[in-house]
Structure 1
Amino acid sequence: MVLNHFSITPFPPGRDRGFDFLGTLGSDTWAIEAKFYRTQRAQATLIETAALRLNHRGVTAQATKGMLVVSCYLPIQLRLQLEKDFNLTFIDGADLANWAASDPALLSELQSLLETSPDDLSQVRSSQHPPVLSGKPLTEASLPENTEGSDLCKELRKLGRGKKHWPAYERLCERILRYLFPNDLHGWHRQKRTDDGLNRFDFVCRIRTTTDFWQFVAQHLDSRYVVFEFKNYTGKIKQGQVLTTEKYLLEKALRRVAIIFSRDGADKQAIIMTQGAMREHGKFMLILDDDRVCQMLHMKERGEDPTDCLFDVADDFMLALPR
């Protein structure tokens, strides 16, 4: 296909090449990556991660130029710094709105995808800083790619289950949470409890409303704090374990949300109990198995927002909530 004078070749599904499209413009080949973020505010660390990955993968693919397209809005100073650091062209939500403005149907589709109002798009269309295609050849950035997300996932997969490995599981979950949400949570208050005869710890953290998901938790679920629990059982957790967590959620303490790490998720009766807790008491519990945790780890490593995954899980839960 040809877009804005680019000839675009999408890759077939399968092996991750580190970017989404290969573009051709004149004699240049472009490695092009697109990142969708629910949160419109630019999260610099995520974008830097995505840019570094694109830079390395583009050089490996022998592309002569690179372009990172993001759905959020980049302040001009951040854009200029990113261009300098990673030798890429950056296209943000404002640029996409500018380009789509001449096609009402395309603009409407973009607005629906980004979940923005017409007023939002009319403001960003007045941007005084349109993107400039990089005239510099793509050269490899000096920083190495970060593989911490993949490393943590591998460690999680290898860790044993049951009482013997409970302390190691708690320590690993803490490292995972600090990697996934370094700017989203504050306090990291440990609470010692006894559950099924096993002494263990969980965390209570204060939420910083840095992303759409945490804003949803604070504003719509009326919870300023979130509980994290780690259940290293050999199978799916049952309703008894969910009941223990529910009793720890307190409306008057503004602590109405829990995120439970469980190796294999929860059985049917446990899920029914989480639904009842939400429907009857407004207590919201998300249960994440190893697959979902690894999904978030890989998202963070690619420069994507892991809280977008939490939002998807929350959406599925709310939409499926029975009467």
Structure 2
Amino acid sequence: MKIVERPDYREFESYVIELFKNAGFNIEVSRGTASYDFIMSKDGIRYIVDVKYYRSNSIANSSLRNAAYRMMAFNHAIKEEFIIVVPTSCLVCENSIKVNDKIIYIWTIENLLFFANTYELKSKLAQFTDVSLEQLSPKPPLLSSVSEDYNALGSQEKIANEVESKCDEYIKIFQSGQQKDFTTYEKVCCEALMLLFEDHLCLWGTQKTSNDNLYRFDTVCRIRENITSAFWHFIEEYFNSKYIIFEYKNYSNPITQKEVYTTARYLYSKAFRNVAIIIAVEGNDTENSYKAAKGVLREEGKLIILLSNDDMVKMLKKKKDNEDPSDYLYDKLDNMMIELEK
């Protein structure tokens, strides 16, 4: 699956088109200076669609009204239904806007979630919002003719089966040990982490380099807004960390204190980045690297959690059993804090 590191309007529009094509709509992309993005049709009914991408989780109704008026100003003589699509919850914006005698429908992220009937589509949708999808319920759009042949409950069951299958797939990979190269291991780790924590983390930026090009870290994520996970809430509140660094080590031996101290250099409080997680095939040599991680926590207030392939397997099994895999990280943190020396 393609990871959208910094979502923008074009990527969101492409996703919406992909989503509606999957739902059986025919798509005609607009050309030139049209005031809409595409026309979709199904069963003889045509819908003019304008896609708006906002980074904010709430949209001023005035912004939606301005978009609606602009659509009507250029298309006032058209008889088709009008739809504006936004990656925002229906709880914070209007469901429809009336312009003259025409109703323009607002389709929100709950409506898009209704159409996201595969794990791949749902996972892509999660990349376009800071809100956790686990807090939202799929909602049929207001147009009954669009949703009458859709089974939202069946879609959720299908997604759950796909998640279970993917967990089994990654469990086998991590149980197989060291991968053929570092790139493969990084890809596997990042995809597995997205599967585990996409409800709690977003952005998933990969292969980041420090400003002076001296250090490179594998993945950086941001904690989503209003999450329910106790672990990530604790990290955000008590470690003042909004961003999390992940490092992947495809080593045949356990990592040493060197990797811990190198990772610690990436962390600093002014960037709200005080937490890192290192995943290594064989984990850590408890004698040195684990002591180094505790020393960094005690002396600098930076948290570095050390994981192995076996730890990844255990978290994937929790995910498969519909448990929260972040609870496993919480247990790791508890043990580390309890064992912390003066």
TM norm structure 1: 0.52
Judging changes above 3 Å, is the alpha-carbon distance between structure 1 residues 310 and 143 closer, same or farther for their aligned structure 2 residues?
closer
C-alpha distance 270-153 of structure 1, shift in aligned 2 (>3 A): same
Task: Give the whole-Å Cα distance in 1 for the aligned partners of 2:199 and 2:277.
Answer: 17
Aligned residues: 183
User: Which residue in 1 is equivalent to 2:198?
Assistant: 182
> For 1:289-323, what per-residue CA distance to the aligned partner results, in whole angstroms no more than 9, with x for missing partners?
11111000011011110011111111111111111
> Which amino acid in the other structure matches residue 282 of structure 1?
G
Counterpart CA distance in 2 for 1:258 and 1:246 is 8
Distance 1:142 1:187, change over 3 A: closer
Partner residue of 2:183 out of 157, 160, 167: 167
The match for 1:265 among 283, 303, 309 is: 283
Distance 1:153 1:143, change over 3 A: closer
Is 1:225 the counterpart of 2:281? The answer is: no
In the aligned structure 2, how far is the partner of 1:280 from the partner of 1:144? 43
Tell me the SS of whatever aligns to 1:237: coil
Instruction: Let me know the Cα RMSD of the aligned residues.
Output: 2.7
Per-residue deviation at 1:165? 1.2
- Structure 2 residue aligned with 1:30: none
- Residue 320 of structure 1 pairs with residue 339 of structure 2: yes
User: Is contact 1:203-1:228 (8 Å) kept?
Assistant: yes
Determine the C-alpha separation between the residues in 2 that align with 1:305 and 1:213. Answer: 10
Distance apart, 1:143 and its partner CA:
8.0
| Aligned-pair CA distance for 1:187 | 1.2
Query: Which whole-Å CA distance do the structure 1 matches of 2:243 and 2:158 have between them?
Result: 39
Structure 1 residue 193, shift from structure 2 partner: 5.0
Find the counterpart in structure 2 of residue 253 from structure 1.
271
Unpaired segments of 5 or more residues in structure 2?
A: 1-134, 139-151
- Pairing 1:207–2:226 present: no
Tell me: higher relative CO, structure 1 or 2? Use CA pairs within 8 A at least 6 residues apart: 1
Distance 1:142 1:311, change over 3 A: closer
Q: Which residue of the other structure, out of 249, 253, 257, is the alignment partner of 1:235?
A: 253
TM-score (structure 2 length as normaliser) = 0.49
**Contact 1:239–1:269 (CA under 8 A) maintained in structure 2:** yes
Inter-partner Cα distance in structure 2 for 1:144 and 1:170? 25
Q: 1:144 to 1:202 in 2, by over 3 A?
A: closer
Return the offset for 1:265: 1.2
1:154 maps to which residue?
172
Instruction: Give per-residue Cα distances to partners, 1:140-198, cap 9 Å, x unaligned.
Output: x888843211210101222535xx5111000101110110011111111223459xxxx
Unaligned runs of 5+ in 1: 1-74, 79-83, 87-140
